[in-house]
Chains A and B, each alone.
Chain A
């Protein structure tokens, strides 16, 4: 299985801060990397596909980057509504695997 490792596991930041979450794959996954946001009691919601493609309706303050084994999700200016857990997920090979998540708290 391809292991996905996210860091940090949690963070606390203020409104307006720039936040970056990293995700590392245990082997190359090219750009087969997606990012999801999950709020408590809800299903995950796709933010970014193929490492850097912002999904329709997702605010432009979210961006993704990376290729191969190292990826990032950046929130350029944190807003209160961004309080959630964020997961990376690879679809390069089966079984699909998710990172362990990064919990973002807004101070």
Chain B
């Protein structure tokens, strides 16, 4: 079965950076996009971007362009999301997620457990 296991919660100071890992298993890592979605307390999900694990090509939301970097390590079947210049508004649960077997319309089929990032001075 498909699993996405994320790294643990972190507390960061404003201005710092954080990197979240997402280790996958149960499928061919390079065959499906990995997306990153965050959810601030009491808010709806917000799409941050995606990475093609095969090519490494990335697409970012304009809201995060220049501050978020998505990478992957194919040998370890792991995706990474780094956010720089953190501010209090970045306090949220960050999810990695894998696309489903869509023929035409893509969707998110599997989610990591989420990683709480708290930004506080």
Point out which of A36, A43, A89, A94 has the most chain B C-beta atoms below 10 A from its C-beta.
A43
How many residues on A have C-beta within 8 angstroms of the other chain's C-beta atoms?
24
Chain A interface helix/strand/loop/mixed = loop
Is A7 interfacial (CB-CB < 8 Å)? no
Q: Is the CB of B62 within 8 A of A1?
A: yes
How many residues on B have C-beta within 8 angstroms of the other chain's C-beta atoms?
26
> Which of A32, A34, A44, A94 contacts B111 (CB under 8 A)?
A44
Q: Is the CB of A34 within 8 A of B113?
A: no
Residues of A within 8 A of B109 (CB): 46
B48 nearest CB neighbor, chain A only: A95
- B→A interface (CB under 8 Å): 35, 44-47, 49-50, 59-63, 95, 97, 100, 102, 104-109, 111-114
Q: Can you pick out 17 interface pairs between chain A and chain B where the beta carbons lie within 8 Å of each other?
A: A1-B62, A31-B105, A36-B45, A36-B108, A43-B113, A46-B100, A46-B108, A46-B109, A89-B108, A91-B107, A94-B50, A95-B60, A97-B47, A98-B44, A98-B45, A98-B46, A101-B44
**Extra A-B contacts (14), CB below 8 Å, given A46-B109, A96-B35, A100-B44:** A31-B105, A36-B108, A43-B114, A45-B111, A46-B107, A87-B44, A89-B45, A89-B107, A91-B107, A95-B47, A96-B47, A98-B44, A98-B47, A99-B44
